Amino acid sequence: MNLENIMAAIENYGYWIILLTLFCGIVGIPSPEETFLVLIGMLTAQDHLQLVWTVISAFSGSLSGMLIAYIAGRFLGLPFLNKYGRFLKITPELWEKASTQFRRYGTLTILFGLFIPGVRQLAPYIAGTSRYPFTVYIFFSIIGSALWAISYIFVGFFIGDQIPLHYLPWIGVVALVVFIGTVFIKNKSLKGGSRA
């Protein structure tokens, strides 16, 4: 697939791809969220996506992921996570550590947890299982989702017009390699920690 076809796909389905990628990242399905946000910010700077719709799609994907994860935690609870948590890389040790932090810094975790990989996936489930007040949760989730999406998109937007378009696929490849390497290192450290 050449660059023109890739750009055509992004221009035609870009907003749905943005929403789905960020939704998956929040509920625990691995995706390179920060790198992806920077990349779509670069595409908006080069007029392949509209900035307003890009931000709305990213915000919607993040917020809907936080909402679904909260609902799953609240109504399906710990039995669900004990049964299926391994598919989301949620170990009992990780859950206990994250729960302790959430009890101590609940509001801050919801507000700024999106900026921390791992925390952004666990915090909504923990909020749901701990019966964190929904109105407070959704209020801070809205603010946190907006801050997270806008900050990374604008990083990409401000560097995007300084990088020639033909370099974008290579940036995507580098981002993918970094993402895979990060997942590999995290998995290795989790396995090492569980053996200790």
Q: Structural domain boundaries of the chain? A: 3-195
- 41-50, 61-70, 98-107: range with lowest mean pLDDT: 98-107
Closest CA to 43 of 170, 177, 163: 163
145: which residues sit within 8 A by CB, 6+ positions away? 59, 62, 63, 66, 114
Q: Is the pTM of this model over 0.75?
A: no
Region 35-45: mean pLDDT is: 83
Among the residue ranges 35-44, 84-93, 135-144, the one predicted with the least confidence is 84-93
- Looking at residue 23, its pLDDT comes to 92
Of all residues in the chain, what percent carry a pLDDT higher than 90?
21
**Residue 187 burial by Cβ neighbours in a 10 Å radius (0-12, 13-18, 19+):** exposed
What does the pLDDT average to over 51-56? Answer: 93
| Cβ-defined contacts of 163-169 (< 8 Å, 24+) | 163/42, 165/3, 165/46, 166/3, 168/3, 168/39, 168/42, 168/43, 168/46, 169/3, 169/6
- pLDDT at residue 178 greater than cutoff 80: no
178 against 135, higher pLDDT: 135
Report which of 186, 168, 147 is spatially closest to residue 48, judged by C-alpha positions. Answer: 168
Residue 40 vs residue 119, higher pLDDT: 40
Residue range 19-42: average pLDDT? 82
pLDDT for 165 beyond 60: no
